[in-house]
Amino acid sequence: MKRSQIKELAQSIVKYDSASDNDVNWIFSKFSRKDLKLFMRLLEGETRQNSVIVSHAGAVSAEYKDKIISLFPNKKISFKRSDEELGGGLKIEYSDFVWDYSVSGIVKRILNNIRESL
């Protein structure tokens, strides 16, 4: 298969957020090993481009959820509670970007700045 066809398939799977058993069986029967590797890379990239992971400590109010959703229109947003990891605040992961507004992230940045200035 051509790269453009494989990319189009990956995009459609991400767009519709699913692949049936028949789709998966067809992919494995028709794709060579090289094509499967390319497909997995493209699928991962498409998923990363179209989804946002919001990790938070404590409850997030509906108002804040609405603000976050408005920042990323037409993206799939997953809210994940991870109190122990963050300590407080929130962390947003989108594509290759990470915005860390958690207590643990702020402490790490302060410690890194202290180490650099020594």
* pLDDT bracket for residue 24 (50, 70, 90): confident
> What pTM value is reported for the model?
0.70
pLDDT of residue 1 exceeding 80, the answer is no
Tokens of 4: 């453009």
Other CB atoms within 10 Å distance of the CB of residue 39: 19
User: Cβ(30)–Cβ(5) under 8 Å?
Assistant: no
User: Cβ(16)–Cβ(47) under 8 Å?
Assistant: no
Instruction: Quick: pLDDT tens for 50-68.
Output: 899 999 988 888 999 999 9
How many alpha carbons lie under 13 Å from residue 97 in its C-beta half-sphere?
9
What is the pLDDT at residue 91? 92
